Amino acid sequence: MNTMISNPSKGLTGTFRVPGDKSISHRSVMLGSLAEGVTEVSGFLEAEDALATLKTFQSMGVKIERPATGCLRVHGVGLHGLKQPCEDLYVGNSGTSMRLLSGILAGQNFDSVLTGDASLTKRPMRRVLDPLALMGAKVESTEKGTSPLKISGGAPLAGIEYKMPMGSAQVKSCLLLAGLYAEGTTTVIEPAVTRDHTEQMLRGFGYPVTTDGDTVSIQGGGTLQATTIDVPADISSAAFFLVAGCITPNSDITLQHVGINPTRTGVIDILLQMGGKISLLNKRIVGGEKVADIRVQSSQLKGIAVPDELVALAIDEFPVIFVAAAYADGQTVVTGAEELRVKESDRIQTMADGLLSLGVDAEATPDGMIINGGKVAGGEIESFDDHRIAMAFAVAGLQAEGAITINNCENVSTSFPSFVTLAAGCGFELSAK
């Protein structure tokens, strides 16, 4: 899929389930591989990023069966049972794979190399390499602190106390996973709450993790025990439909079995503050994770100053939140989101430039954006191979004054390969070629 063309819609309806949570899918393979016994996974995200993680562990000798779509049977080899891969470990566009794997590989007794695609090789890796070095890991990067990463095996790791300079679940997770192999206790102190899927899943595999406010600690030397995991639908993927339902008149859609982990629901809280008609139905706990069916109806959104405490809880959803702001009455201000500049693209500048080209009053700032809502014109958008940018502008086309054409959409397959099909099925006037 090279191009998506989004035309105005007369309304969205339906009840459906978006694909499985990408963060949980990654971690289910990682921890399942390192556990003792066979881990059964359902709801696994069959998309390029999560499959990249799966393939890396297969390359290290882990048997992973795929009996049906979205179902895995991971034959764990234990914390010390991985084997040296015959070639470099290629993780495509997945920053999660590279950063979390660097922590796991730092504790192995063999050398390894992590590589990715052209986009991933531009993303900063020193944020994990520096604290790993403090633990005793031997990892080399380019002079710019980017991949490929060359990890020397056999380096003894020691637990550290690390105060993160920025809120990042990937950095936290990397260090906790390295902490499995470290002597003593590894403690991570967060400046802001970030998603806690790693901590929750470690506990699900029987490994104790201590959480005290902004501090997370793990003791090395334990074991992981195989378990059963039902991956909920990904709230990051659901976010496109949450905004779509809010901004499109005559809309009433329900998204089934969506993960509502409190560290991931920033997008819901932001849309509610903007006046979104969103209801959480049938709340329940599945495999230790909170899930619910989410109903969203046409809404009259208003601009807000997004509270700082919600920024880290919605960092991946901001491209489509910016679209919501473009259709809201009044001004929306986002600050404290500088992390957006080092994603698959510079999501602040890319979204600001795209919105400006569609006639929206949008001003990029160093750590966010100021958007004065109003009309959105049709036009042509460059997504810069960023899946969330592409899908966000597909949502923008729902009520634009003309068609929006989005170029370079191939990377939608990294997180949401069924996006066009599901969107068209609920009322998007969306085509791809």
Residue with tokens 């990892």: 139
For the segment 396-408, what is each residue's pLDDT rounded down to a tens digit?
A: 999 999 999 999 9
Residue 240 CB: number of other CB atoms within 10 A? Answer: 25
Of 354, 277, 272, nearest to 310 by C-alpha is: 272
CA distances from 342 to 120, 348, 350 (A): 10, 9, 12
Of 33, 83, 82, nearest to 53 by C-alpha is: 33
Q: Would the CA dihedral through 283, 266, 412, 100 be positive or negative? A: negative
β partners of residue 390: none
β partners of residue 3: 407
Virtual CA dihedral for 271, 264, 7, 14, nearest 10 degrees? -90
Of 81, 104, 107, 99, nearest to 149 by C-alpha is: 99
pLDDT at residue 3 is higher than 80: yes
Active-site hit among 269, 316, 385, 386: 316
Buried-exposed string 151-176: b where 16+ CB fall within 10 A, e elsewhere: beeebebebbebebeebbbbbbbbbb
Work out the mean pLDDT of the chain and round it to a whole number.
97
Q: Among this protein's residues, is 346 annotated catalytic?
A: no
Categorize the per-residue pLDDT at 130 as very low, low, confident or very high, splitting at 50, 70 and 90. very high
pLDDT at position 149: 98
CATH number for the segment(s) 3-20+232-432: 3.65.10.10
For the segment 306-327, what is each residue's pLDDT rounded down to a tens digit?
A: 999 999 999 999 999 999 999 9
Please give the single-letter amino acid code of residue 244. A
Work out the average pLDDT over 273-288: 94
pLDDT at position 193: 87
CA distances from 336 to 126, 131, 168, 407 (A): 20, 23, 13, 29
Work out the average pLDDT over 177-193: 96
What CATH number matches the domain at 22-230, 3.65.10.10, 3.40.190.80, 3.20.20.150, 2.60.40.10? 3.65.10.10
In the chain, ranges of CATH 3.65.10.10 domains: 3-20+232-432, 22-230
Residue 287: left if φ>0, alpha if ψ -120 to 50, beta else—which one?
left
For the segment 54-81, what is each residue's pLDDT rounded down to a tens digit?
A: 999 999 999 999 999 999 999 999 999 9
C-beta separation of 318 from 392 below 8 A: no
Distance (Å, whole) CA 418 – CA 1: 11
pLDDT at position 288: 80
Distance (Å, whole) CA 418 – CA 215: 38
Distance (Å, whole) CA 5 – CA 158: 52
Tokens of 43: 């709801």
Q: Which phi and psi angles does 389 have, rounded to 5°?
A: -65, -45
Of 382, 380, 352, 386, nearest to 366 by C-alpha is: 352
The pTM assigned to this predicted structure is 0.92
Work out the average pLDDT over 10-20: 97
Of 28, 42, 36, nearest to 79 by C-alpha is: 36
Distance (Å, whole) CA 140 – CA 138: 7
